[in-house]
Every structure is written in C-alpha cells, then in structure tokens.
Structure 1
C-alpha cells in the first residue's frame, strides 16, 4: 500500500471510527442535529456524516472543527504530546544512538 493511499486498515481505521463515534455521541448529548453541527463548522451535512462514520477520506480539519464546536478540543492537546511519548523519550536518551566522534591527534605545530 502506498503512503498516499487514503484506504486504511487495522488499528488506524479503527481509531478513526472510534473518534467518529465519539463525536456522534457528543453531538447527540448536546441535542444537535447533523445539519446544525455542519453549519457551525462551515461544512456540509455529508461531511458530518463522514466524520461520524469514521471515513479516512475526511479532512482532519473538519474533525478538529467538530471537536472545537462540541467543546472537546482541549483533549486533542494530549495526542502525540512529546511529554507522554515514552518510546520517543527513551530513544532520545539512548546512549547507543549517540553520535561518536573519533579522537583526533592534537597538532602542536604552530
């Protein structure tokens, strides 16, 4: 599969579907119709339907706008937070990956 393909499978697709389902639940709890949310985010009702279905072709900006309208944008700050990236932190402090410089002979010729 190419990196530009919009077809996702497995864990990434499931994550997008979960996000869409959560946006739908938040919308319903706020008693907003799909067309109401669409108007607030400046998109079409079809886009809201695609967000809620977890379509990987939907622009991430549309989902972020929906989260903002629903008052859930602050939770997005936790996504890929460098302070919570244990693997990344471990790799940045790994001694084995440090650059090693060969010692050069000092040249005392002036």
Structure 2
C-alpha cells in the first residue's frame, strides 16, 4: 500500500513545525529521553522524531499522547478555540452553524434508489 501524501497549507505547516519544536524543547528541559517518551506514549522513537519535526502525517492523537507523556502537558489541548472571535461574532448575530453537515449527493442518490 502506497503512503498517502498529506496536503497541508504552508502556514499550518509552520504552526506544526513550531509545535514540534516546542514539544522537543519541553522534553529536553525535563531531561526525558526520546526512548522514554516513546515508551510512555506507546509509539516508536521514529514517531517521536516525526512529532518533534512537526510532521502533518502524524495523527493528532499521537501528538496528544506525546504531550501527556511529558508529564500531563495535554491538558492545554482543551484551550484550543477557547477565544473563538469569529464564532462568537456569528453567535451574536444569531447565525448559528448547522449541527450536521449536508448529506453528500451520492448518499441522496442511493436513498432514492432504495439502497
């Protein structure tokens, strides 16, 4: 099976690289080896190196596991989108996002065919 290429915007890659760098610095400040973080997170050392490089092909769950392995740094993940200015403005204007995404056209066609 061929590896799937992840398409990511340059600014997002910049953020991931910065995140990886900050994770590496946190690990080094705590004097924790890559092997120990890998063991605690349940991943390989190569995966830790990928995280520290900010690889977009690493699942977000792995990033969370690595942060947790660094003595509970994952608790800050809950702060993501805490100060969602655009979302709050939309809410104030009473333009609420839909709770569900619209069904794909293919799903509708299958429903009409009785599948």
* CA distance in 2 between partners of 1:89 and 1:5 (Å): 34
Long gaps (5+) in structure 1: 99-110
How high is the TM-score relative to the length of structure 2? Answer: 0.72
**After the TM superposition, which segments of 4 or more aligned residues of structure 1 sit over 6 Å from their partners?**
none
Please identify the structure whose Cα radius of gyration is greater.
Answer: 1
Deviation at residue 5 of structure 1 after TM alignment: 5.7
Aligned to 1:88: 87
Aligned to 2:79: 78
Aligned residue pairs total 92
How high is the TM-score relative to the length of structure 1? Answer: 0.76
Aligned to 2:9: 9
Long gaps (5+) in structure 2: 97-115
Q: Secondary structure at the match of 2:26?
A: helix
Alignment RMSD, CA only? 1.8
- Per-residue displacement from partner, 1:7-34 (whole Å, max 9, x unpaired)? 2232110111111111100111111111
Aligned to 1:42: 42
